[in-house]
Every structure is written in C-alpha cells, then in structure tokens.
Structure 1
Amino acid sequence: MTMPTNLRPNLSRGASAIALGLTLTAFLPGAAMAQDASTAPVDAAPAEDAIVVTGIRGAINNSVQAKKNNTSIVEVISAEDIGKLPDLSIAESLSRLPGLATQRLDGRANVVSIRGLAPDFTTTLLNGREQVSAGNNRGVELDQYPSELLNGAVVYKTPDASLIGQALGGTIDMRTVRPLAYGRRAIAAGARFEINDLGELNPDISNKGYRANISYIDQNADGTLGWAIGYARMQSPTAEERFNAWGYPELTDGTNTAFLIGGAKPYVKSNELKRDGVMAVVEWEPSDKFHTTIDAYWSRFKDDQRLRGIELPLAWGNSTLTDFTIEDGLVTSGTWSGTEAVMRNDVVHRTSTIIAGGWNSQFKPNDRLTLELDLGYSRLKKTEENLEIYLGTGRGAGVGARETALGFQLRPKGGIILDPSLDYADPNLFLITDPQGWNSCGGAVPNCQDGFVNTPKIKDELKSLRLQATQELDGVLSSIRVGANYSDREKSLDDRGFVLTSNDYPANTAVPADYLYDPVSLDFIGIPGMVAFDSWRYYNDGNYVLTDEAGWTPGRIFNDYNVREKVLTGFVQANFDADTGSTPIRGNVGIQIVHTDQSASSFFAQVVGGQVQSTPVTDGATYTDFLPSMNLTVEFADNTFLRFGAARMLARARMDQLKPGGGVNFDASRRNNTDIEASPWSLDLGNAKLRPLMADTVDVSLEKYFGQGAYVSLGGFYKYLENYIYRQSDAFDFTGFEIPDGGTVATYQGLANQWRNGNGGRVYGAEAALSLPFATFTQALDGFGVLASGSFTKSRVREGSADPIAMPGLSRWVVNGTAYFEKAGFQARISGRYRSKFLAEVSGLSLKRDLVTAKSEMVVDAQVGYTFQSGALEGLGILLQASNLTNEPFVTYYNNDPRQIRDYQNYGRNFMAGVTYKF
C-alpha cells in the first residue's frame, strides 16, 4: 500500500474550489472593528452625499476597507446589514477567510483552526473580551453563536501589545452592532424553512426545521442614547449515515501479513439542534468627553440525537474469517462466522448555556487623553446525557444466536457492505441484555451491562477588568497607550458514568410492544432493518438499575479536574504615523508583561481490593512572560502596502493537561523487580506546572487595493516554537500508595508518563487572497465578482527523540472560493471551501481526545435571492440556500492508509427557503 507523494490531488481539488466558487469565500459578513471599540468605523452611518453600496457588495467593501486601515495583519467579515450574516453560525462565516479552516461535527462547522494550528491555539473574543468554551479544553465551539446576532468579526493574525487574548494561531474578535455608530432606526426579521435530503433516518427525530430572527436598533432624537436588541431561534435537522471501525489489527499466518478490520459500529444518526440566542446593547454618549456601552449576550444550545446501529465484534471478537481476499496488505472481503452482534438504540441530550457581557466606559479629560474602563464576564454550563441501550440474542459472550455467514466487502470510498444471515429486525430474536459481557459491575454481577449512560458536566467562568489610557501626541509618535488587564478563569469537569442493568436481570427481556417503532433501515451497510424502540422513554420509565462506574474504574475519578488561572497583563504600546518623503509609514511597537498564577486539582486513583481509592491532589505554578510585538505598514505606492509583523506569542496548555492527578497502575507479575524500567508501578498523569507553548513569529504581507472592494494580497509567515507539550516518562516515587493485592513489593520506584514541556518545532506557510468586483474592468459586468484565497502551511514538531510530526488540525492546503452576482435586488453566490488531509481531534471514550487522520474535503454552498426595491413590498427579501451541495463526507482513517477507514460520515444536503424583511 502506497500513498501518493505528489501534490496533484491537492492542487486539482483546490483548483476546483477556485473554479467553482472562483475562490475562497473570503469575508462575506462581518463588522470591521479593532479591539478598541472606539476605532471601529464599520457601523458608522454614511454621509448624505455618499454613494451607498449595500448587500453582498457592501459587506465586501466594508471588510476590505477595514483590512486596509488596520495596522495589524487581519482578516475581516462584515454583515450585509443587521441580522444578515448568511450562515448557520459564525463558524461557517469564518471558514471562508484566508488561512482559516473548520472541522465539521455532525455536518456543521464547529471549531476553527487558524494557519493550521488547532482550536486550542486560538483565542476567541466577543466585543474584545475573552470567551469561555463548551468543550473540555480551550477551543471555543463557535456554532454556539448565531450569525444573525453578530455584525461581523476581525481575525488578528499578528497581535499588538494592547490586544488582550492574543494566541499562537490567532485571535478571533466577534462583534455585535453599536447602535450609535449604526446611526439610524432599523427593524429586521427573517424566517427560513430547512430540510435534510437524507430523510427521517430515525422515527423520533424530524428531518425538517426552521430558523427565525428579529432585531431592532434605534436611538433618541439627539443621537446620544442608542439601543439594540436581537433574538434568533434555530431548530435545525442534521442526519448522518456513519460507518465506524474499531481499528485494523495486523494479522499473520506465519507467511503473509495483512491488516484486518477489528470490529465495526455502523449506525444512522438524527440530530435536532435547538439554539436560542439574545443580544442586547445600550450605548450612551452625552458629550464628546464621555461614552459608555453595556452589551450582553445569552445563548442556549440543545442537541438531541438518536443513534441506531449494530456493533459487530469481528477480528477483535469471537468471529472466524473464511474465504477472504487480500489486496495490497489489507483484507477487503470475506465471510465471518460466530459473530455476536450488539444492537444499539442510543440517545444523546446535550445542553450548553452561555452568558457573556460587559461594560465599557471611555472618558476624555481633554482632547488628547482618553481613559478607559472595561468590565467583562463570560460563563458557560454544559450538561450531557449519553445513553446507550443494548439488545442481543443472549446474555454474555458465546450465548445466543450468532452469525453463520456474515459476508462483507469494503467499499472503495469508505464503509462496508454486509450480507447477514440473521434477521436484525426481529424483536423476538434481539432482546434487552448484555450480549458481550462487557461489564461485571466491579466483579460482583457478571454480564451486568445492559446499557450505559455518561453524564459529564462542564462549568467555565471568566471575569475580567481592563484599565487603559491613550495619550495622543504630535509628530512621528502619534500616541502612547498603557494599561493593564486582570482576568480570573475557573473551569471544571465532572465526568460520571453509570452501568445500566435491567430490572429483569439475569433474564433477557423482550422490548414491550408499546415502545417499539417500525424497524430502522441500515441499507447503507446492506442490512435492510434493525429493531428500533423508544429507548429514552424506556430508560426514564425506571426499567434499569444504575451503578456508578467510579467504584471500580479509576479513570472516572482522575478525569475530573478544576483549573483556575489568574492572569495579570500589563502593556505599553507606541503608535506611529509618519511620512518618509512621499512614503507613509504607520504601525506600533510595544510589549506585554503577563503574570500567571495557575492552580489545578484532581485525584490520584487506583484499584485496591477491587475498589477504587482516590487521593485529592492540588498543584500549580506562577510565572511571568514578556511578549514584545511590532507591526509596520509602508505604503510604498498608491494603495499598495507592505506589512511586517513580529511578535513573541504564547498558547496555554490544554485544561486536561493541567490536571495534576492520574491513574496508578500495578502489575503484580513484576512485584519482585527492582529495575525501574520493569517496575510493577506506573502512572499516567497531568501536570499543573506546565508552562505555555511559546513561539517567536514573523509575518510579511504585500497588499494592493484598487477600485471599490477590490484587492490582492500575498504573504508569508514563520513561527518558531520554543517548546511543545507532550508526554514524557520520568522516575516517580510511589511510596504512600497501597499495594493493590496486599502483598509485598521489591521497589516503590516506577515511571510516570506525564505531560511536560519539551522540544519545539516550527510552523510556516504562505497565503494569497483576491477580491475582484468585475466592474473594476467594465460596467458591463457590474454586479459580478469573485473572492478567492489559498494558503499552504507546513509544521514540524518533535516529541522527544521520535520522528517529527505535523501538528493537530493542520491542513497543508486550504482553498476557498466564492463567485457572486448582485444587482437590482437580485443576488446569487456559490462558494467552495477545500482543505487537504489533516490530523483531526475527535471525541473518544469519556471525553478522551483521539488523533486520527482526516481525508481532504471540499464543501460547496449556494444561495440565490431577490429583495424588492420599491413599492408595497419594499424591503422584503426571498432567499433559497443549499449547504453541502456535493454531499461531501467527513472521513478519517488509520495507519496512514485511506482504505483503513475509521469513520465515514455521510451528512446529506440541507436546503433552506425563507424570507427577510427590513423596515
């Protein structure tokens, strides 16, 4: 088995994205605002004699102008108008920017990578204030933020000293509207109907949904007091046909060696995503000396899922393979016998609630001095119930009916086609039981796991206080800004799991008829139907006994953590603006001094006498980092800029890496060894003393602006990673830990596998972007235009003496394209976004993060609409949208072999039709 080493597949698909959309969807929506709200001109009302360009072209013009005016290297998205970002969430809008890529979850854009660096290396702000995250680490799940409530976003690729929340990948600053800058009254409303073309894969989740939003902006007669409020509601369907493989063990008969599928878990999945969001802003400017703004944001995201499928233990089960075919070291077809299936009717309920807001006040004692106070708050609570309900033909492995001839064939593009001998739709054959004997409830109850429920809870809270003063000056040095920001963040994970045992244990129980649905089709893997029932209602009706797995599973204890970070950042920044002859030069230079006091608590856990014993542990560290930065912009020709940025940047360790506890393991067979390398003791643990990942970065960009909304840019960047965080083994003294079986031991010295700061590496790449309204060349093509961007990124990090690896989340190629037309009320656009293969972080057992390779993908979206320009219907818009037009799957694989599929997720297409109205 060989992998292509040339770049032709990447370049051809990237070229397709450009040809299809003529290039990256670069900044469709968004408000162009710097972190300092006073520098944000995007909302400003146009002068009365100005030519006003609205819609898609107006958004592009705003974005391009904001990019041009910023002293940092940034990307900007601007809304066409209030409530008019066209996407499901801000994540999809951001995915169209140069150098940004999203990873899909359940078919929707979820988290964002900047310049190939994973979401944990990105900081997300709302109105300049850092946001908490719904995941169990730092990456913000951006689908929590409705696009209708945001006026845009700025992505800082290079920081300045006054940018709080700068991160190694970049900083995303989402913005809500400022009513006084907007300058006029507006009421906007919209509604859309949505349908997924895979249909109702499960009977208890619809494939239809809707979106609705309303926003109101106004101000008093003298323009000193303004207010805005918006509400957005979404009930969106997603569907998924998913093949999941347990892995591919390498087997040999002594002569030949081949990889073979270890087991499979194919299922159909239906989601109903409900999201409510509210945005409110009050702004008061009684004079040119005082300006104050209070903004608030609330969002509740509920994800209800139904998953029905069949787990098939194959090579890693009790199955025998015959009549098989090997192609290039992989078994691609054959017949299994003796397979005992585990049928699953699973349910997921996930709810996360975000509250965020702040108060910003600016006071000018005189014309040249501005004093600013900013208070911020962000809080998230997330709860989950992940319910698994099992059916089988008998209790325990080797009991009940088994497959006599289960034929299989690996599909060339991913997944598997089966030819079963059992009727999986027969409710008299498949009963409520523990088919594989997966659990003994701590050894007390054999074959007790008739189901399972995971109930993790996440809390994340962040409070901040910022003070700064800006003094304007004469001469080359235009102003000096000094200030300080204090933040206090606390995040906790409470990970719990419970074994479900049927009330009828040890008997097998037929599903009561009043809970049964018609069989659910698994045609996509060759199984015409499986037993389906209302497992959520059956569970809530009290038909199971719950047993806390923490009694015998240490991982349930040491997965928990509480991390607190108190960060004081002082900064000074000098801004300059000068003409050197006929060459304007502007920019800034400054430094941040960042003092961190971090602490974390968790548990040491081990099994002693068959029961888990836990010991609380708390640890932490304090340290100070110096982060200088410089941005320089030279306009060496008319509207032609050379930009240079240099900075020292940091990315803090993941939350789960900072927890100080871990699981203590004891191998009784080694109890008499004194060699530490063969010690009976071992430990996997985190490290609350971890320092941030530090990097020195350099950016260069050449930008040419011409015409209205037109520009072309070419740039490059280099990030030298001073260190990287990975697991390392060190000596550890286990004195004080009990010997699990009560015997003796020759040594208490062993090895601890711990997260540590170690060797670094580098990330580097190049980016190009284009915004081209065709009216730049001829009025005959007025209304037509394209947006395009592409980036190439490479990374090399070394974990100890191991071979260098690419960083998680990094695609070498990211290419986006949008072609659009807008004139006389008509609008149409088609967008394609391509990313090459990357190392994806996916959720595993108990919130564990697994790293697997994801295949390249190109996602295509389209939109057409018409807005009435006059008459009784003036302001009414009609809109048709389609997402994932080419039905692009999300595919991950093992062992660097795209044939060894881990996940093949087919999401189908979503179509929307709706209306908008503004008056």
Structure 2
Amino acid sequence: MIKKIKCSTMFSAIAAATAMAFSSSVIAANNVNGQIVDAKKGIALSGALIQIPELNVKISTGKDGRFRFDNLPAGTYNIQVSYLGAAPQVEQISISNDRSITQDFAMLPNQSSVDEVLVIGQRASQANALNRQKNSNRITSIVSADAIGQYPDQNAAEALQRLPGMFIQRDQGEGRFVGIRGIDPSLNNLTINGLNVPSPEAGIRSVAMDVIPSELISSLEVSKTVTPDMDADAIGGSIEVKSITAFERSDKAFSIAGQLGYNEQQEENSPKLSASYSRIFPLNNDNKLGVAGAVSWAERKFGSENIETDGGWGDIELENINTGADEEFFGAAEIEQRAYKITRERTGVAVNIDLQTTSADYYIRSLYSKFSDDEYRLRNEYKFEDGDLQAFTSNSLSTVDAEMDRDTKDRYEEQTIFSTVFGAEHQLRKWTLEYSVGYSKSEEAEPDRLDVDFKGEGFDLGYTSTGPFVEFTQSNDAHNLSNFELDEFVFENNFTEDEETSFKLDLSRQLNFENASADFKFGGKIRQREKFNNASVQIFDDGFDDVTAAQFEAANPQWDLGNFGPSISRAGIRSFFKQNRNQLELNTLDSNLESQGASFESAEDITALYAMTDVSFDKWQIIAGLRYESTDFETLGNRVELVEDEVNDIEDVLISEWAVKNDYDHLLPNLSLRYDHSDKLLFRFAYTNTIARPAFGDSAAFQIIESKTEEDDGEIVVERQAEVGNPSLETYESMNLDFSIEYYPGQIGVMSAGLFYKDIDNFVEFAEVQDNGMWDGFDEVIQAINGGSAELSGLELAYTTTFDVGLLLVANATFTDSDVNLPNQADTVANFAIGYESNTISTRLTFAHRSESYQFLDQGRTVYEDSHNQIDFNLKYFINDQVNVYFNAVNLNDEPLYLYHEDERLNYQYETYGRTFELGFSWNAF
C-alpha cells in the first residue's frame, strides 16, 4: 500500500495563514468598493469594467458584480463604468486618508425602452460572456448559464463545443470529453469552483464532462492562455466550471424546469427535472450571508446501431463459393453488427454558502454529481480466416464458409464526483490574503458486469463494403440460435477511486503610481492525489452442458442497417448464470492474469510556487511571472506472468509486486501583454510554458507477461510477449505563443482573430521495446514511451453581432495544422448560429462542424474519424417575464459517427443515433 505523505506542512500553512488574517484584519485604507447590478432586476453584472482615468487603474467585476480599489492616493476622481449592452456611467468621488468609500452602480440598457433588461435572453447571455472575455487578463472564451439554456445541449461538454476552438469527443452520440485548439482532452485541465477534479475512470486523467449536469452551472470559462497563478497542467488550456452562488443573483431567487425528450430511432421517452434556490440574508454591520442550492435529475433512454471492422484490411486470394474461381479480394478479418440499448441517469446537487463582511469574504462551494450508464449490447461477429477474407469486390454479394459469434455485454456503470472547497479573502491594510482548502473525490463502480459468448461455425457468410455502410449476407442457419453454443462467461466487479486534497495560499498588493498601477502577487499550492484501480475478473469457460443461444432467444432488436437476426434475452442470461454459477468451471489462471494485471495504485504529490506582477500604464498591461512545480510520483502494481510449459506439463500464474518512484520538477516562465488601442480595439500576446503529466494507466506499475514453452521437431521453443507500464514516463512539455486582435463595435458583439503556436515535447506513444536491452528473450513487448516532438499552429476567428430588429449571429472557425499526426486533431472546427429574439419568442438554429481527425494506428493502418456536421434547433416562447416553454430538436440531420481505415471506403466504425426532440418549461422568479 502506498503511504500518503504527511500533511503537516499543509496544516501549518493553513494555521499560519489564518493567524495572519485575523491578527491583521484591519480594513484597508484609501479604498473604493462597490457593486454593479442591473437596474431593473438587481442582478449582479460580472465582467463590467471600472476605471479611474486619473490614476490609470482599472478592474473588472467578479461573479457577484463587486469591485475594489486599494491604496489609492487622496484626491478627487471620476469612476467610469462600462458594460457591453448598457449605457456607460460616471460618478465623482473624493478620497481622503484612512477612508473607505462604497459606490454602487445600477446599469440601464442602451435602448431607451424601460422594459429592456440586461440579464435575460440571448442578448444578455452574449453580453455577460463578452464583457468577461473583453476584460480578462487572459485569452478566454466563456459560456454563461443563460447561454447554456439557449442551446439544446445535454451536458457541460456539449455547451462548450459552441465556443471558438472547442471540440468534443462523443460517446453514443453524446458529448463527453472536451478538447481545445486541436489538443487532445487528456492534455487539458478541468476545475470545479477552482478545485482540480480527479477522473473517475481507471487509467486516464481527463474528466468526462457529461457527468456534470448543465443546470448546476453558473458559467464555463475556458482559458486558452494561463497566468503564473494557475495550474501548469494545461497544454491545450484550462476549463473552469463555476456553480451558482447567491450574490450573483437577486436577494431572493427561485427556478424550476421540466422536460420530456423523445428519441426517434429507439422510440424512447426521457424525463428531466431541475430546480434552484438562493437567498441573501442581511446581518449586522453590513455583513451578508448568501445561500444557494441547485438540484438536477435526468433519465435518458436511447441506443445506437453500429457496424465495426476488426483485424484490419488486406489483399488476399481465395475461392469464391458462388463461382468456384480463385479471386483477388480486399477484405477484413472480422466484421461486427452491434445493437445498443442504453439508459443514462444523472443526478446533481450544488450547495454554496457565502459570507461577506467588512474585512473578509468566506465561502464554501460543494458539488455532487452521479452519472450511471446502464448498457446492454448485442453483437454478431463474422470471423474470416486469412484465406477466407472477402469484401469490397463488386456489387454482388458472394459468401465463404466462416465462423460467427453472438455475444452480449450486460454492464451497469456508475460514476460520482464530489468536490468541496472552503476559502476566504481577507482585506488587510496593504495586502489581500486569499486561501482555500479543497477536497475532491471521483469514483467509478462497475458491479456484476456479465459478458457472454456463443460460438458457431460452418456458415455461408459475406459482406460488401463500399464506404460507411457494410451490406451483409448470410445463410439462414446463421440466424438459428440453436447453432450457437455457449462458450464463455466473464463476470467482473471493477472499482476505481481518484482522490485529491489541496491547499492554496495567495498574497497580493495593489500599488498606484503617477499614471501607472501595479499588482504584486505570490503564493503556492499543495496537491496530494491518490488513484487506484481494483479489477476483479472471473472467466468461466466450461461446464455448460451444450447450452445454446436458442435457450435465451428473444425478439429481433431495433436495427435498420440490415438483417441482425434474433436477440438474446438479458434477463434470461442473468437468471441462468445466477442459478448455475456454482456448476461452471472457473479458469483460475486467466482470471488471475486479468484481475491482477489491471489492478494498480498511484500517488502524486505536487508542490507549486509562483510570483508575478501585473503592471498597467498608458494603454498597456503587462503580466510577467514564474511558476515552479515539483512532482513526487510513486506507483504500485503487479508483475503477472502466465506460464504455459507443455514440455514439463506446467501451467501457472506467477504474481509479484512492482513498486516504482519517480520525481521531477519544472520551472515555467510566463509573459502576457495587452494593448488597448481604444475602448473598442485591443491586442493580446502571450508567451507561456505548460505541461501535462502522463495518463495513470500508461505510468502505472504493471507487467502482463505470457510465456509459452513447447517442443517443435525435437527443439524446445520458448515464446514470450508482454504488455508493461512505464512509471518513468516524462511529462509532456509545451512552449506556447498566442497573439490575438479583438474588436468590440459598441453593441453586443465582437470580431476577433487569433494566431497560436505550440511546440510540444515528450509525446507518449505505444511501441515495441523488446530490443531496448531490457527485455532479452522476449519476442514482443508493448510499452508506452516518450516519442518525438510536435509543432501545432492555428488561426482562430470569431464573429458575434446583434441587431436592433432582434437578430443574433454567431460564427467561429478554428484552423489548425501540425507536422505530425496528433490524436483528435481536426484541421477545421467551426460553429454557426442564427437567432431571433422578441418579447415573446427566442429561437436559435445552430450548425457545428468538425473536419476529419486522426485517431490511432490499428494493425499498422491509420484510423481517422470522418468529418462531423450536426444541426440543432431551439425555440422558446415567453408566457410572461417568469415562465417560458421551449422545444429542442437535436441532431436534426441524423448525423452518424464514422471512422475508417485510411481510405473512406474502408469501414472501421459506423454508428447511428437518430434525432431527439425535447419539450419543456422553465419558471424563474428573481
């Protein structure tokens, strides 16, 4: 068992920070503070820009609409407030020594109509996001909660795909993982309320964002460049999920929503419910307590129809059964028909508490999400020997004598994410002290998984493939389930846990000079993470007494891609296994090999220190700093060897522990420049250095070895092959350059263009390493190793505008190019949306495009994902200011998923999902 490093340093730091805060909790003198709200609803406006021109200082409001200037020289000044979509405001203030001034602002829209508000509808959501983007000190893209409601998106991942440079990886047609600017999702960072989120899945770091219901989210912020006070593990960028808080809403707010969805292909209904509540309680001495909570539940029933190719494609010669002649064929060793039935359920709860006092703010942020995936899969496997490959020959369907398997996968998977963070910000006389303590845990349980295989042979089978769609032919006996004998049960109980504890401390000071200002900031962060995977696999391969699939026959499944044949009963298989388990023969050797080889635990301790300065003068803003990160990594797993010695009649599994430690550190300089040519036109440049640590599955300590000894013509032959982890993997390292131009024409809109370049070292790839001097006597050893470098460059364009007649246009496109094949990197990603909004109707039609992308190598051939084009539609009708009903149409063009082997005519995977229609209502009381 890996021992956790003692947390005495962390607790000492917490105690020191707390003592410093309370011993120095004198309110800062010569400061101006306030809040920016919407004049009609009283809701906080985040991203508003506040300036004091005489001192050349500026700041933007946070989620709660608050701002603060410290250490200002005595004098009389003008405070200017600007917010896209609102009329600017100016107020004069006088500052004297040792005095604090509170100056609030209530913003009115640019239009003269008093019925207009700044916080509702498409325009409001665009205004919120663009104001925060414009006034950020980084290159960012933002989705606000209101904007999420304008799209028919199932989860947080799908909401992010609408932003410039963003793309998603889908599972069963639903967005899961999010990539940034052509960089694979595994190389990005995800935080919830500033807290790093561990992954519930076994071997990876990336978090599937479909576990986070969009109803719990206040905003999604993507930082495409990072500053020194941010975590460095963000080669593509960093995604921050912020849950709702009371101080970003009115004094008392409540919402409830309900929805019913219908999947056209599977003819299934799916319900969805959500609610939120927040309230601000005034306390004595101008102190305030804010409480906010949200809950969401959804059940989605759907499925997919699938054709896949396994074993690669090749040129072969075989006898055509129909003609008797030898012919040249180009075929695949295995073609699969798959039918899925899936029920996904999401439950989410967020509870946030904020306490605002005259000298400090305290907060507790908590989010819990549970995601379950109940899947039953039927599969027909057409298996062709090397001499029997047949396909892609002509328009006629010819057949060969081949084997066929029918198998099922019965799996229930449950993922949970829990994160909670306590933090505070103390205003001292000259310094601001911020600290937070966080804990997060992710789990994935896969209890009682049951995979069953039935084998058959002697069938006349064939197929023709001229592209995504594969046409099958088979003799009638291939659909007679009595011809398929039960061959194997695989019963699994798997569990993964990923846990992280962190402490963060920041100190900053604001200084003002003549025509210039500077913020100095330094601090550190400690992260302690433990991940383990416990696999329990039992393989039963005998004791079936000639049981056939006919015993479990059920009606034909929903499958429109050809003739699938009868189904196999899920309940019947479960019942048979439960009743006969004690009579089945357990393959102990293979079971131990699979279980012990996949189990591991790893621990990672990260210590980070940074220092930075933020200087503003004239029209310039310069952020410069340095970040240091030290990583202590250790992993514990098993060396598992299956020994099959036919000469000495020995068959055994040898298991021994394998533990490895690996320590490394990084020094990461950082520079960001911003030049405001005018209030409307600004330029940005950033030079950053980021990293990405290897996936836990690649760096885990495991060795799975198979040794076979036999006699061949009087000579003893030993064949050995292995699959091993690599705990010595180095981190990905990236040097990044970014340059962008942003133009805000005055109304709610933006035109922007950005160039980016990344030079990435230490890419991880799988290779045969038996010849590296460490594996003498092995015929093949597969291991993850650090490969070469890659250069990625790109152009990002975005355009958003609104018209007085109610029209809204959103268009963005990102073009990337790399000198090597990068996983999931598409040359073009684009989005287009056109919307219309009036006092009673809001509608939006969207189009998302992603060009073909490299995926991986299979049997020496490159596998690509074909381009993806999806059209969605949203329509809202406002019954009054509080209640609306809506209609969503998802995947209107019924876009499938298609992967192919090098040539678009060579199927790897073709999967369809159908259209989904949703009808719902929302009631919001502010």
Q: Which residue of 1 is the match for residue 658 of structure 2? A: 617
1:720-759 to 2 correspondence within 5 Å? 720-727=759-766, 729=769, 753-759=782-788
Alignment length (residue pairs): 801
- Taking the aligned partners of 2:350 and 2:701, their CA distance within structure 1 comes to 38
Q: 1:898 aligns with which of 894, 904, 918?
A: 904
State the Cα deviation string for residues 786-811 of structure 1 (Å, max 9, x = none). Answer: 11110111122xxxxxxxx3110100
Provide the rounded CA distance (Å) in 1 between the counterparts of 2:62 and 2:220.
Answer: 13
Q: How far apart, in 1, do the equivalents of 2:45 and 2:828 lie?
A: 27
Give the residue type in structure 2 aligned to 1:59: S
Partner of 1:294: 364
| Cα deviation, residue 82, structure 1 | 10
Q: In 1, Cα distance between the equivalents of 2:255 and 2:266?
A: 32
C-alpha distance in structure 2 between counterparts of 1:258 and 1:196, whole Å:
40
Q: What corresponds to 1:795 in structure 2?
A: 818
Contact 1:574 1:588 in 2 (8 A): yes
**2:537/2:592 contact within 8 Å kept:** no
Measured after TM superposition, the shift of residue 167 of structure 1 is: 0.8
1:360–1:298 Cα change, 3 Å: same
1:625 Cα offset (Å): 0.5
- Per-residue CA deviations over 1:534-580 (Å, capped at 9, x if unaligned) read 2454256333437366546745433322121100000111011111x
| Pair 837,241 (structure 1): closer, same or farther in 2 beyond 3 Å | same
Gaps of 5+ in 2: 1-43, 49-58, 67-103, 110-116, 319-325, 644-649
Maintained 8 Å contact 2:542/2:585: no
CA contact (8 A) 1:117 1:169 kept: yes
Per the TM alignment, residue 861 of structure 1 is displaced from its structure 2 partner at its CA by 1.1
Q: What are the residue-to-residue correspondences of 1:243-254 with 2, within 5 Å?
A: 243-253=307-317
Structure 2 equivalent of residue 825 of structure 1: 840
Larger mean Cα displacement after TM superposition, 679-688 or 567-576: 679-688
Of 476, 501, 507, the residue aligned with 1:422 is 476
Higher relative contact order (CA 8 A, sep 6+): 1
1:485 aligns with 2:548: no
Check whether the contact 2:150–2:844 (CA below 8 A) recurs between aligned residues. no
2:793 counterpart (752, 764, 775):
764
Match of 2:616, as an amino acid?
A: D
- Residues 168-214 of structure 1 show CA distances to partners (whole Å, capped at 9, x for unaligned) of 011001111221232421110000001100135xxxxxx21111000
Could you tell me which runs of 5 or more consecutive residues in structure 1 were left unpaired when the two chains were aligned.
Answer: 1-29, 201-206, 435-448, 673-677, 736-746, 797-804
Taking structure 1 as reference, are residues 670 and 788 closer, same or farther at Cα in structure 2, changes over 3 Å only?
Answer: farther
Which residue is equivalent to 1:565?
A: 604
Instruction: Report the Cα distance in structure 2 between the residues aligned to 1:857 and 1:390, rounded to whole angstroms.
Output: 34
**CA gap 1:94/1:325 in 2 versus in 1, 3 angstroms:** closer
Task: Give the Cα–Cα distance (whole angstroms) in 1 for the partners of residues 379 and 705 of structure 2.
Answer: 35
Q: CA deviation at 1:310?
A: 1.6
TM-score (norm 1): 0.82
Letter in 2 for 1:244: E
- Residue from 879, 892, 895 that aligns with 1:888: 895
Mapped to 2, the partners of 1:378 and 1:851 lie a distance apart of 38
Letter in structure 1 aligned against 2:920: G
- Which of 571, 580, 585 in structure 2 is aligned with 1:534? 571
**C-alpha distance in 1, partners of 2:235/2:532?**
24
What pairs with 1:239-638 in structure 2 (closer than 5 Å)? 239-253=303-317, 258-287=329-358, 289-315=359-385, 326=393, 334-366=397-429, 368-384=430-446, 385-392=448-455, 398=457, 402-404=458-460, 406-410=461-465, 412-422=466-476, 426=480, 429-430=482-483, 433-434=486-487, 449=488, 451-475=489-513, 476-501=516-541, 505-509=544-548, 517-527=554-564, 529-535=566-572, 537-538=574-575, 541-544=578-581, 545=584, 547=586, 551=590, 554=593, 556-579=595-618, 584-608=619-643, 609-638=650-679
AA in 2 matched with 1:303: D
Range 151-160 or range 218-227, more displaced = 218-227
Q: Using a 3 Å threshold, how does the CA distance of structure 1 residues 426 and 82 change in structure 2: closer, same or farther?
A: closer
Which residue of the partner structure matches residue 6 of structure 1? none
Structure 1 residue 812 and structure 2 residue 827: aligned?
A: yes
Equivalent residues of 2:152, 2:890 under 8 A apart: no
C-alpha distance in 2 between matches for 1:256 and 1:150: 60
Q: Pick closer, same or farther for the CA change 1:274–1:290 going to 2, 3 Å.
A: same
Q: Give, in angstroms, the shift of residue 360 of structure 1.
A: 1.0
1:307 positional shift: 1.6
* C-alpha distance after superposition, 1:264-283 (max 9, x if no partner): 22122121100100000000
Per the alignment, in what secondary structure is the counterpart of residue 519 of structure 1? coil
- Aligned residue type for 1:93: A
Q: SS of 1:283's equivalent?
A: strand
CA contact (8 A) 1:663 1:683 kept: yes
2-structure distance, mates of 1:640, 1:163: 27
Against the structure 1 CA distance between its residues 725 and 390, is the aligned structure 2 distance closer, same or farther, given a 3 Å change threshold?
Answer: closer
Contact 1:681/1:734 (<8 A) preserved: no
Letter in 1 for 2:218: N
The correspondence for 1:650, drawn from 668, 681, 691, is 691
Q: After TM superposition, give the deviation of residue 852 of structure 1 in Å.
A: 3.1
Shift of 1:115: 1.0
Q: CA deviation at 1:891?
A: 0.8
RMSD of equivalent CA atoms: 3.1
Cα offset, 1:422, TM superposition: 1.6
> Does structure 2 conserve the Cα–Cα contact (< 8 Å) formed by 1:471 and 1:479?
yes
CA separation in 2, counterparts of 1:636 and 1:219? 40
d(CA) in 2 for partners of 1:114 and 1:301?
24
CA distance in 2, matches of 1:534, 1:792: 49
1:510 Cα deviation (Å)? 6.1
Partner residue, 1:97: 163
Q: Is residue 857 from structure 1 mapped to residue 892 from structure 2 by the alignment?
A: no
**Cα distance 1:813–1:84, how it changes in 2: closer, same or farther (>3 A)?**
closer
TM-score (norm 2): 0.81
1:613-645 per-residue CA deviation (whole Å, 9 max, x = no partner) reads 122111121122101111111012331011000
Compute the displacement of 1:325 (Å): 6.0
**Contact 1:713–1:770 (Cα < 8 Å) also in 2:** yes
1:181 maps to 2:248: yes
CA distance in 2, matches of 1:382, 1:858: 32
Displacement, 1:522? 3.8
Deviation at 1:258, TM superposition (A): 4.5
SS, match of residue 192 in structure 1: strand
Tell me which of 894, 917, 920 is aligned to 1:911.
917
Which string of whole-angstrom CA distances, capped at 9 and with x for unpartnered residues, describes residues 644-682 of structure 1?
Answer: 00011111111111113323354658999xxxxx99655
Alignment partners' CA distance in 2, 1:518 and 1:453: 25
Paired amino acid for 2:62: P
Q: 1:430 to 1:71 in 2, by over 3 A?
A: same
Whole-angstrom CA distance in 2 between matches of 1:119 and 1:589: 27
Q: 1: distance between equivalents of 2:708 and 2:454?
A: 35
The residue correspondences of 1:25-64 to structure 2 (distance < 5 A) are: 41-44=62-65, 47-51=105-109, 52-53=117-118, 54-64=120-130
How many angstroms apart in 2 are the aligned matches of 1:194 and 1:487?
41
**Counterpart of 2:824 in 1: which secondary structure?**
coil
Instruction: State how far apart, in whole Å, the 2-side matches of 1:849 and 1:215 are.
Output: 52
Deviation at 1:533, TM superposition (A): 5.0
The 1:679–1:364 alpha-carbon spacing in structure 2 relative to 1, beyond 3 Å, is: farther
What is the percentage of aligned positions where both structures have the same residue? 21
CA–CA distance in structure 1, aligned partners of residues 345 and 165 of structure 2: 30
One-letter code of the match for 2:451? E
Residues 555-564 or 601-610, more deviating: 555-564
